[in-house]
Chain A
Amino acid sequence: MFNFIARLLRFSGKDAWKLKASAAISFAEGMLANFPVYVALLVIMKIMDGTVTSGYAWTAFLMVLASLAARWILRYSFVRMQSDAACRVAARERIKIGDLFKRFSMSYFTDGNIGNVTSVVTGDLSFAEDYGMMKLDDVISGLVSIVIACAFLVWVDWRVAVASAAGCALSFAAFHAMEKVSKRQAKIRMEQQSKITGAVLEYTEGISVIKALRMSGSAAKRIDASIDDACRHAIDFEHSMVKPVTNYLHCYALTIAAVLFLSFWQFFNGEMSMPVVAMVVLFIFRIYLPAMGLATGAAMMRVMEAGLDRYEKLKEVPIIDADGKDIPLNSFDIAFEDVSFSYEDKETLKDISFTAKERSMTALVGASGSGKTTIANLIVRFWDAQQGAVKIGGVNVREMTCDSLLRYVSMVFQRVYLFHDTIENNIRFGKPDATREEIIAAAKKARCHDFIEALPDGYGTVVGEGGSTLSGGEKQRISIARAILKDAPVVLLDEATASVDPDNEKYIQEAINELVRNKTLIIIAHRLSTIKRADQILVIDGGRIAERGKHNALLAKGGLYSNLWQRRQKAKSWRVTRV
Chain B
Amino acid sequence: MKEYLRVLSYAGDQKHLFKKAATLLTLSVLFSVAPFFIVSVVLNGFLSDTAPTLLWLLGMAAAVLVCLLLKNWLNGAGLDASHKLAYYTLAGMRRRAADKMLKISMGDVQAFGTGAAKKNFVENIEEMELILAHAMPEGFANLFTTGIVLIVMFAADWRMGLAGFVTIIIGMVPVFLMMMDGMKRMKPWYAANEHMTSTIIEYISGMEVIKVFGQQSRSFKKYSDAAKSYRDKTLAWYKACFVYMTSYAILLTAALLLMLPVGVWLYLGGTLTLSTFILSLMLGMSVGVPAMRLINFIPQFPQLKYKSSKIEGMFEIPDMPEGTKDAPERHDVVFDNVTFAYGDTDVIKNLSLTLPENSVTALIGESGAGKSTLAKLIMRFWDVREGAVKLGGVDIREIKSDALMDRISYVSQDNFLFNASVIENIRFAKPDATDEDVIETAKLAQCHEFIQEMADGYNTVVGSSGDKLSGGQKQRICIARAILKDAPVVILDEATSFADPENEDKIQEALSKLIAGKTVVIVAHRLSAIVDADNIVLLENGRLAEQGKHAELLTRSPLYKKLWEAHTESMDWDIGGAEHV
Contact = CB atoms under 8 A, between A and B. Distances in A.
Interface string A191-216: 00000011011111111111111111
A61 B525 contact: no
A98 B223 contact: yes
A497 B278 contact: no
A413 interface: yes
A61 B101 CA distance: 64
B528 A572 contact: yes
Contacts, number: 486
12 contacts: A47-B264, A57-B265, A87-B238, A117-B204, A121-B200, A212-B379, A256-B68, A429-B213, A501-B366, A513-B575, A516-B580, A533-B574
A407 interface: yes
Interface stretch (B36-44, B332-340, B436-444, B540-548): B36-44
B257 A36 contact: yes
B203 interface: yes
B282 interface: yes
B168 to A, nearest CB: 14
A86 to B, nearest CB: 9
Contacts of A94: 200, 224, 227
A9 interface: no
A249 interface: yes
Contacts of A218: 428, 431
Given A39-B256, A504-B367, A499 B267 contact: no
B505 A75 contact: no
B334 to A, nearest CB: 20
Interface string B224-266: 1001101100110011001101110111011011101111110
Interface in A14-66: 33, 36-37, 39-40, 43-44, 47-48, 52-54, 56-58, 60-61, 64-65
A54 B268 contact: yes
A449 interface: no
A285 B212 contact: no
A39 B261 CA distance: 11
Interface in A79-106: 79-80, 83-84, 87-88, 90-91, 94-95, 98-99, 101-102, 104, 106
Q: Give the interface SS of chain B, mostly helix, strand, loop or mixed.
A: helix
Contact of A285 (B36, B94, B258, B501): B36
Interface in A238-268: 238-239, 242-243, 245-246, 249-250, 252-254, 256-258, 260-261, 264-265, 267-268
Given A106-B212, A403-B211, A572-B528, 6 more contacts: A52-B267, A80-B242, A246-B76, A253-B69, A256-B64, A380-B212
B157 interface: no
A206 B416 contact: yes
Given A102-B220, A204-B118, A231-B88, A261 B80 contact: no
A3 interface: no
A80 B239 contact: yes
A502 B563 contact: yes
A564 B503 CA distance: 9
Interface string A115-145: 0011001100000000000000000000000
A335 to B, nearest CB: 21
B368 A471 contact: yes
B238 A83 contact: yes
Given A37-B285, A576-B515, A102 B54 contact: no
A207 B113 CA distance: 12
Interface stretch (B175-183, B297-305, B344-352, B530-538): B530-538
Given A79-B242, A204-B114, A530 B212 contact: no
A203 B100 CA distance: 12
Give the 4 A-B residue pairs with the shortest CB-CB distance, closest first.
Answer: A499-B497, A261-B61, A253-B68, A257-B65
A74 B69 CA distance: 36
A60 B260 contact: yes
A243 B256 contact: no
B111 interface: no
Contacts of A252: 68
A28 to B, nearest CB: 14
Interface stretch (A180-188, A222-230, A453-461): A222-230
A174 to B, nearest CB: 12
Contacts of B575: 361, 512-513, 516, 521, 523, 530-531, 533-534
Interface stretch (A274-282, A350-358, A392-400, A435-443): A274-282
A56 B264 contact: yes
B238 A80 contact: yes
A39 B260 contact: yes
A505 B566 contact: yes
A211 B575 CA distance: 43
B202 A432 contact: no
Contacts of B122: 197, 200-201, 204
